[in-house]
Chains A and B, each alone.
Chain A
Amino acid sequence: MPPKIVPTDRKILMTSDLPAALEDLIACPTCDALYKAEIPKAGARMACKRCHRVLISPGRRAGAKIILLALAAFGLVMGAVFQPFLSIKRFWITRDATLVETALAFEGPLLILSIAMLALVILLPVTRLLLTVYVLSPLVLNKPALPFARVAFRIAETLRPWSMAEIFVLGAAIALIKIVDLAHVSLGPAVWLFGGFVILLALQNTLMCRWSVWKALDDA
């Protein structure tokens, strides 16, 4: 398709900057500023000059690192789900709570909240991890993308604001400080596993350059 660049307002156009093909352009998703996509050197980033949103941030072997981080994070969270999270001891009574039990604290009509919590804290982050591995693995191995890779990456992107594992960790820390006066509380292994999971998720997020993934899916 020949690109149609019809300046609607001469005053603010710098037509000389415009390249020939649409696929070489990039529009900032936040503010719509238009740029020629120039892939910066690995480690550097191209950010929108107007709203400062990072547009392209390729990393050296970022894909492989992201996959490894995702697999490690998956292992940690699987461990965290079934281990005791916190245990509380008052006189002779000890009580352990696993992560799943914690989420299931709401009963009766509030059960829907339990389901929402399980989804926000465990299900959605894990789904995102698995989708990321599914999308990136063939790209890293220079193989054609797997079927529905685009749909998978789109879902992973949509779920991003809804995965709240790190918020849960802070909430658990507050609950812990609240209760420490009432009873003796000790941290179970799941706390460390889940903490590690949250850190790996954050690392993975900083390595992820979404534009590069879409571009790779285009080229694959």
Chain B
Amino acid sequence: MHKVLTAETAGLIGCQRCARVWGAETNRCARCGARLKARRRHGVFWVWFWWVAGLAAYIPANLLPMLETRVLLTKSDDTIVAGALKLASHGSVLIAAVILLASVAIPIAKFAAIALLARSVSGGRGLGSNWNHRIYEAVEYIGRWSMIDVFVVAVLSSLVQFSVIATVKPGSAALAFTVSVICTMLSAQSFDSRRIWDADQSAELKK
């Protein structure tokens, strides 16, 4: 890998919002008004803060009912996983797969990915820079899509609400799940991506 000149090594600081470059001592970007942040030594604090909050919300999101269905006199409360499995047993395997992917696989992978990145930039062992780049891109891109199950539940329940035969009501897991998605998005945004590439550079120089 070739060596790259960064704003930091040039004694400058780059704005992470508008890409303008300033002298290293500048605190605020005069063009877009963003705070200019040098690589912070304790920069992963907020990453972990939102990570823990997100995980704490993710647990009730899986234990509480996501959907309360009443068909005639039978009532069933389904958690996210139970609902998806029920769908699969009714033959909608593809939809069950999308829901399991968006509500279980992506959130769990996202928790793991952010933890890996935060650990590897603060000196712990990681998977290596190539993987870190890919993981970072994936987290940035895919994270928002976890919200899909909440939208599914909302559309379903508003449609079925007033019919006599069946009612579908969103359960409290929807709230916990939304909080969890918001927290993990904030966690990913608190992560200073420049540190992934910094880690490459210092590894390169040691060789």
Please give the residue numbers on chain A whose beta carbons come within 8 Å of chain B beta carbons, in ascending order: 1, 3-9, 11-14, 17-18, 22-23, 25-34, 49-51, 55, 86, 88, 90, 93, 95, 97, 101-106, 109-110, 112-114, 116-117, 120-121, 150-151, 153-154, 157, 161-162, 164, 167-168, 170-172, 174-179, 181-183, 185, 210-211, 214, 217-218
13 A-B interface contacts by CB (under 8 A)? A1-B23, A29-B16, A30-B197, A31-B6, A31-B194, A93-B163, A95-B162, A171-B154, A174-B99, A175-B159, A182-B166, A214-B18, A218-B31
Q: Is the CB of B18 within 8 A of A167?
A: no
- Contact of B42 with A by CB under 8 A: no
A7-B10, A179-B160 as given contacts; A211 in contact with B151, CB under 8 Å: no
CB-CB under 8 A from A178, the residues of chain B are 87, 92, 95, 152, 156
Q: Is the CB of B166 within 8 A of A157?
A: no
Interface size on B, residues (CB 8 A): 69
Q: Is the CB of A32 within 8 A of B170?
A: no
Q: Is the CB of B11 within 8 A of A5?
A: yes
Which B-chain residue is minimally distant from A153 (CB atoms)?
Answer: B32
B156-191 interface with A by 8 A CB criterion:
156-166, 170, 172, 174-175, 178, 185, 189
Q: Is the CB of B157 within 8 A of A105?
A: yes
Tell me how far the C-beta of A15 lies from the nearest C-beta in chain B, rounded to whole angstroms: 9
Q: Mark B7-33, 1 if CB is under 8 A from A, else 0.
A: 111111111111111111000000111
Query: Interface with A: B73-81, B112-120, B141-149, which one?
Result: B141-149
- Contact of B72 with A by CB under 8 A: no
Q: Mark B126-137, 1 if CB is under 8 A from A, else 0.
A: 000000010000
CB-CB under 8 A from A51, the residues of chain B are 133, 193, 197
Q: Find A105's partner among B24, B149, B170, B178 (CB 8 Å cutoff).
A: B170
Tell me how far the C-beta of A114 lies from the nearest C-beta in chain B, rounded to whole angstroms: 8
Q: Find B148's partner among A3, A32, A167, A185 (CB 8 Å cutoff).
A: A167
A164-B147, A172-B155, A174-B99 as given contacts; A4 in contact with B17, CB under 8 Å: no
- Contact of B125 with A by CB under 8 A: no
Q: Find A110's partner among B5, B13, B174, B194 (CB 8 Å cutoff).
A: B174
A22-B22, A120-B147 as given contacts; A157 in contact with B31, CB under 8 Å: no
- Contact of B108 with A by CB under 8 A: no
A7-B10, A177-B95, A178-B87 as given contacts; A31 in contact with B158, CB under 8 Å: no
- Contact of B196 with A by CB under 8 A: yes
A7-B10, A174-B98 as given contacts; A22 in contact with B155, CB under 8 Å: no
Which A-chain residue is minimally distant from B149 (CB atoms)?
Answer: A171
- Contact of B203 with A by CB under 8 A: no
Q: Is the CB of B5 within 8 A of A17?
A: yes
CB-CB under 8 A from B178, the residues of chain A are 113, 116
Q: Is the CB of B197 within 8 A of A33?
A: yes
Which residue, of A7, A33, A174, A182, has the highest number of chain B Cβ atoms within 10 A? A174
- Contact of B34 with A by CB under 8 A: yes
